[in-house]
Structure 1
Amino acid sequence: MLRIAVQAKGRLYEETMELLSEADIKISAMKRSLLVQSPNFPVEILFLRDDDIPQSVATGVADLGIVGENEYMEKREDAVVVKRLGFSKCRLSLAMPKDIEYTGIGWFEGKKIATSYPVILSNYMKEHGVNAEIHEITGSVEIAPGIGLADAIFDIVSSGSTLVSNRLKEVEVIMKSEALLIANKNLNAEKKEILDELLFRIDAVKTAEDKKYVLMNAPKSALDSIIALLPGMKSPTVMPLAQEDWCSVHTVLDEKCFWEIIGKLKALGAQGILVLPIEKMIV
């Protein structure tokens, strides 16, 4: 059985639980439950603080962990990245009071910067030859300039609304972050086999994201032109209809190009276009 360390609450927790659910791994996350076993897949979920996950995986307390890249880079624990999961995206940025002119990274020379990520920030400042005073704090980092604790902050930014509400502006993006699946370096053969099955399920879920299954009736006279428009997985499925001059065409479209292609299909005579969501896709 694999033990997976997962953030106990917050956005990363919610998106992790959604991913596991879509992979048909049932988890009953009861309140105050630290360790929960899945009834239908050989995994158990260990709920931890996000900053404890890298160490728990590196030391073997957990076999796998789903953690933000920001925490993985900050803790520098000896665990390996198995897969980038593509959700819980954010960035780590330097921000300062909005009414002060920013003149470049040299502005931070001699300044006090409040952050929960002193390792990442210290390395960045060394790379740029800037000698700043770094104050490590937890909690609401964004209020530090307003109460006179620091001149600037280095913190997670998603939408930027928190910065705006604290009269701060983002001036340097230091790194971008997303959820990572990390693993202990010493998994045995049995656990690696379970991990392979887990990755297979995750890949099926992630591949289906932003994809639509499209069915349409198409005139045979325009079939070659219609097929040329369709960027399907390999090639579209074409089946005859009762009406001799028409056929049914089935394909998969990426949502980002969906409306552009649908308009062109209609112009070529396609009718009865049906669009369906895709839950899983095996390639």
Structure 2
Amino acid sequence: MINIAIPKGSLEEQTLLLFKQADLPIKKTSREYNPKVEDPRIDRVKILRPQEIPKYVEEGYFDIGISGRDWVIESDSDVIEIADMPYSKTGAGNVKIVIAVPQESDIQTSADIKPNSRVTTEYPNITKRHFENLGIPVDLHYSYGATEAKVPDLMDVVVDLTETGSTLRKNGLKIVDVMLESSTKLVANKESWENPEKRQEIEEIKTLLLSVIEARGKVLIDMNVPIAKLEDVISALPSLKRPTVSQLYGADYYAVETVVNKSDVNILIPKLKALGAEDILELDISKIVH
């Protein structure tokens, strides 16, 4: 059995949803940091700050954990990144560690930042390496939150994590550089990964989680098509792969099914009907396993 660390905070809601959709619901108890999963492969789950998870996984307290690539790099953790988990606090997508300054500043890139500028960040190690590579000495201050609010009154430069940059802009800041692009990662302890029994359990959990992510935003379209209209209908289908086509018993009709993006369905279904498709069904997909 394996132990899993999942992130508290901005990623927590989306992570709990992911496990629920993978039929691995995480049930919180009165001690909310020690929830339970009723699965024979999972012994223990703990909710921790994502900053801490990579190092705890490296040290063997957990077999796998979910955290951002940014925290793997910031903590210099020696773990195995076994899967990219493309989701964030608002759904899907990557995030960036950016350098921002007041909008009225004449700074255009991080190379323009003046020596000994006051820099506030939750990523001191990544930030220190960045400015050392530029040969610019800076006065580095660790931030415990609300980083963007400290410029310009307390600090000159902010290094922060953002998805869209909207919060920075609302606080009168502009982005002048991107230090790192990050996404959510499933990371594993090296010894656990080398253990055949644990590795199989890790792979199985990974498959279930990724199958949910793959299925998001997609639906299954199923329809009957007369043989004379078959080629026209198939040519209109934007499928993941080739559609599945099978002849109906005792009829000059074929059953056609394929997976399409949910966002295309409202345009696609009337088009398929006009091309001759009948009995069209739209079905939700919970998992896609490749």
Indicate the residue corresponding to 1:177 in structure 2: 182
Q: What's the secondary structure of 1:114's corresponding residue?
A: strand
Compute the displacement of 1:51 (Å).
1.3
Indicate the residue corresponding to 1:268 in structure 2: 275
Indicate the residue corresponding to 2:4 in structure 1: 4
Structure 2 contact 247–253 (Cα < 8 Å) conserved: no
Q: Structure 1: how far apart are the matches of 2:134 and 2:232?
A: 55
Instruction: Tell me whether 120-129 or 191-200 shows the greater mean CA deviation.
Output: 120-129
Indicate the residue corresponding to 1:35 in structure 2: 34
Indicate the residue corresponding to 1:128 in structure 2: 134
Indicate the residue corresponding to 1:81 in structure 2: 81
Structure 2 contact 85–210 (Cα < 8 Å) conserved: no
Q: Structure 2: how far apart are the matches of 1:59 and 1:81?
A: 15
Q: Structure 2: how far apart are the matches of 1:245 and 1:193?
A: 47
**Does residue 1:237 correspond to 2:245, yes or no?**
yes
1:17-65 per-position Cα deviation (integer Å, ceiling 9, x unaligned): 1111112113211353333332233212112122111111111111111
Q: Structure 1: how far apart are the matches of 2:186 and 2:30?
A: 24
Amino acid at match of 1:235: P
Identity score, percent: 29
Indicate the residue corresponding to 2:16 in structure 1: 17
Compute the displacement of 1:260 (Å).
5.9
**Does residue 1:63 correspond to 2:63, yes or no?**
yes
Indicate the residue corresponding to 2:232 in structure 1: 225
Structure 1 contact 94–171 (Cα < 8 Å) conserved: yes
Amino acid at match of 2:163: S
**Does residue 1:114 correspond to 2:120, yes or no?**
yes
Structure 2 contact 99–110 (Cα < 8 Å) conserved: no
Instruction: Tell me whether 33-42 or 155-164 shows the greater mean CA deviation.
Output: 33-42
Residue of structure 2 aligned with 1:168, choices 140, 165, 173? 173
Q: What's the secondary structure of 1:77's corresponding residue?
A: coil
Number of aligned positions between the proteins:
280
Compute the displacement of 1:232 (Å).
4.5
Compute the displacement of 1:93 (Å).
0.7
Indicate the residue corresponding to 2:109 in structure 1: 104
Amino acid at match of 2:57: V
> What 5-or-longer segments of structure 2 have no aligned partner?
89-93
Structure 1 contact 95–152 (Cα < 8 Å) conserved: yes
Compute the displacement of 1:262 (Å).
4.4
1:235-277 per-position Cα deviation (integer Å, ceiling 9, x unaligned): 32334388x5544322211346555654653442334433222
Structure 1 contact 63–184 (Cα < 8 Å) conserved: yes
Q: Structure 2: how far apart are the matches of 1:72 and 1:232?
A: 33
1:147-182 per-position Cα deviation (integer Å, ceiling 9, x unaligned): x22111000112333213321122212222211111
Q: Structure 2: how far apart are the matches of 1:92 and 1:17?
A: 25
**Does residue 1:52 correspond to 2:41, yes or no?**
no
Amino acid at match of 2:164: S
Q: Structure 1: how far apart are the matches of 2:79 and 2:242?
A: 37
Structure 1 contact 46–62 (Cα < 8 Å) conserved: no
Q: What's the secondary structure of 1:92's corresponding residue?
A: strand
Indicate the residue corresponding to 2:91 in structure 1: none
Q: TM-score, normalised by structure 2?
A: 0.87
Q: What's the secondary structure of 1:11's corresponding residue?
A: coil
Structure 1 contact 237–251 (Cα < 8 Å) conserved: no
> What 5-or-longer segments of structure 1 have no aligned partner?
none
Instruction: Tell me whether 269-278 or 170-179 shows the greater mean CA deviation.
Output: 269-278
